Amino acid sequence: MVSIKSDREIELMKEACKITAETHEMLEKNIQAGMSTYDLDKMAEEFIKSKGGIPAQKGYPSGEKGVPDFPATLCVSINDEVIHGVPSKKRIIQDGDIVSIDLVVLKNGFHGDAARTHLVGNVSEEAKKLVEVTKQAFFEGIKFAKDGNRVGDISFAIDEYVKKFGYSVVREFQGHGIGREMHEEPGVPNYGKQGKGIRLQKGMTIAVEPMVIQKNPDIFGAEDGWTIATEDRSLAAHYENTILITEKEAKVLTII
């Protein structure tokens, strides 16, 4: 069931979204070659708690037998890893890496969700272009995120933009509604047909998140049960924000 937020609920949700945005800004200033992904995770956890938030991804259930709950505050995915990378003291960030960080903050009973892909050191021009296109795909999509349009309008715009550059969107994972629950209805795929899907309504809050692969769209799950990577080892990037549907332009809640 799609949740329509009241003005009061939206104000409460904005606080979680603000901490989410501030955490990403802090990480962008501090990420560097030589750090472990565990270092980033602890830094983010301490920062979120200092702001009165709760790291919502920590302890998130996998839903699969034998796979433990997610153990960390951040999903940190490097280069060919698309999403859900598990932070580790052994995983050291290298010069030239692109590092996707996805985080969710809970405060006042509401969630804020956003992802960024960071360029570390001397990154190749090809990697820079992928990251830039992934980010812009989000903004191309939300041009259609307004009251009366449909989810498919967002999805179609993202996919069409990405394909112009010869890239592929991930089809097995998608954006989603968000609010009191981290994942709510509707699902928001990164591909689809115009005029199809659930109709968008004022007061809906959704997370729109292009996940873009440099080449072949095929992906696989790593042995840890969480990390998703590209089958052909080509690069992947991720960009996400929580947005509010209004009668006019969508309002991005996780950009300060």
Answer positive or negative: Cα dihedral of 130, 135, 139, 141. Answer: positive
**Cβ–Cβ < 8 Å for 105, 48:** yes
pLDDT tens-digit series, residues 8-52:
999 999 999 999 999 999 999 999 999 999 999 999 999 999 999
- Structural domains in the chain plus CATH codes: 7-252 (3.90.230.10)
pLDDT tens-digit series, residues 70-88:
999 999 999 999 999 999 9
Per-residue confidence band for 184, with pLDDT thresholds at 50, 70 and 90: very high
Tell me: pLDDT of 1 over 90: no
- Starting at the edge strand found earlier in the chain, the sheet holding 219-221 runs 81-83, 228-230, 219-221
DSSP string, 79-106: TTEEE-PPP-TT-B--TT-EEEEEEEEE
What CA–CA distance (Å, rounded) separates 183 from 176?
6
- For residue 136, count other CB atoms closer than 10 A to its CB: 16
- CA atoms lying within 13 Å on the CB side of residue 90: 2
What CA–CA distance (Å, rounded) separates 58 from 77?
16
pLDDT tens-digit series, residues 163-175:
999 999 999 999 9
Answer positive or negative: Cα dihedral of 128, 133, 134, 135. Answer: positive
Name the phi and psi angles at 47, rounded to 5: -65, -45
What's at 192, amino acid-wise? G
**Model's pTM, two decimal places?**
0.97
What CA–CA distance (Å, rounded) separates 77 from 236?
9
What CA–CA distance (Å, rounded) separates 101 from 159?
22
Tell me: pLDDT of 3 over 90: yes
Q: Angle CA(148)–CA(152)–CA(155) in degrees, nearest 5?
A: 125
Q: What is the pLDDT of residue 190?
A: 98
